[in-house]
Chains A and B, each alone.
Chain A
């Protein structure tokens, strides 16, 4: 009786190994799809998901105008002090003082891509870009000023 049980166990074990090997062999011979992405080589064709959170950018239109009023809602929403907004006072043609941003400082090295600043922005001035190659040689390069030189706030945005 013991011998029969032993032989059953041996053959049962062998069968289980063969079942597993068959599955491995199936994928070895039926390589229909390639799942791995050949990353640095496919750079030109690589498309990231349109909501992918890569870095914060300030949107500028063709007239070099943005929608940031300098309300610092994003700065307050940020958990890591990633955003620092430096404001200045512009003189309007009517001779009035108007608050505007001087520098939109963004510390990429502190950012955790939590999206809270984008949600907080009342004028949709900032959004997440789909870039992801952020390595630089110098740490100071990660501190960015998002507003382009000589950019102005778009007309009609308060």
Chain B
């Protein structure tokens, strides 16, 4: 059993953050051993929102299981669905029409911006600034409206199916996205004015939560958390999927290894996402939005693995098939779980107040960690 309350035999104080705590953004339970104000150990306890998604998927067909994955990392629901659709398409050897691929990339990047915006607002609120939250949600609302119009939902869209998309784009889609690009380019500079340049913010982030390049690799970190330490791990660049190999964008790398570096990565990534959308929005090719597929999908016997870059890092989907209509085994390699494992290493020796800043820059989504 874990020691969860009181003091240890060495006289250190044990405190519990969570499972219900506003700074953990979900039901994450951290057991922290403190020596005065200094953190000696952080032990995350998981399982409060475990829904056994992997086991559930084993009883669902290859069309049905995609919607469940929206509930893992709900802030990058589109990208999760993309990973699953790609794995099934890989197994079935379905050729996805060019039009569907381009729309998928636009949707993915819009999701990434929405996710980073929510993170930016919530992160600033953790640190103590309240206004940024409203600024972030104001712009995120525009993306939600675009999603609502085309996909019919604001968060758990389920717009991708094996072979393409579920429905045609809404006629207003291109117009709305262009309006959003113009608006967002103006607003992102305001974010820098409000938060990035702020002296209080910089003092709270700089040198906090150091994660060296070697540690980032050995803990299996991915996404902005690892790129802040200089690990180039962007799946969109390393193993391009969809049309990512045909668009121009930079992989953002920072070498600060601290919370500020991880913060800057996401701010700069939003600008790159806008750059990708700008290149594609006027060049959506004509054609079908869905490939012709069989009524019942049956993956051939074997193992299939694909990975994509979600807003939080690398998501891997592993399907083991016995040739039936349902998968024999599904495993998701979620980015949040690996990133959380580095928290203990980052937090040791630093002050309790800095823990919130570290957790904020890891961008933890608890349903993604627990699944």
Contact = CB atoms under 8 A, between A and B. Distances in A.
Rank and list the top 5 A-B pairs by shortest CB-CB distance, nearest first. Answer: A13-B199, A79-B64, A114-B67, A51-B152, A53-B152
Nearest to B190: A23
Interface residues of A, number: 26
Chain B CB within 10 Å — which of A13, A20, A22, A51 has the most? A20
A17 to B, nearest CB: 6
A33 to B, nearest CB: 9
Interface in B108-161: 131, 138, 141, 145, 148-153, 156, 158, 161
B152 A52 contact: yes
A132 to B, nearest CB: 11
A19 B131 contact: no
Contacts of A116: 63-64, 67, 158
A128 interface: yes
A49 interface: yes
B168 to A, nearest CB: 10
Interface in A1-46: 12-14, 16-17, 19-20, 22-24, 35
Interface string A114-134: 111001000000001000000
A19 B141 contact: no
A51 B158 CA distance: 13
B166 A119 contact: yes
Indicate the member of A16, A49, A77 with the most B CB atoms within 10 Å.
A49
Contact of B149 (A51, A119, A128): A51
Contacts of A49: 145, 148-149, 152
Interface string B63-78: 1110110000000000
19 contacts: A17-B198, A19-B193, A22-B193, A23-B190, A23-B194, A35-B138, A49-B152, A50-B149, A51-B148, A51-B151, A51-B152, A52-B148, A79-B64, A79-B68, A113-B158, A114-B158, A115-B166, A116-B63, A119-B166
B237 interface: no
Contacts of A35: 138, 141
A98 to B, nearest CB: 25
Contact of B198 (A20, A50, A52, A113): A20
Interface string B166-198: 110010000000000000000000100111011
Given A77-B64, A112-B156, A51 B197 contact: no
Interface in B193-212: 193-195, 197-200
A93 B20 CA distance: 65
B156 A128 contact: no
A35 B137 CA distance: 10
Interface in A50-73: 50-53
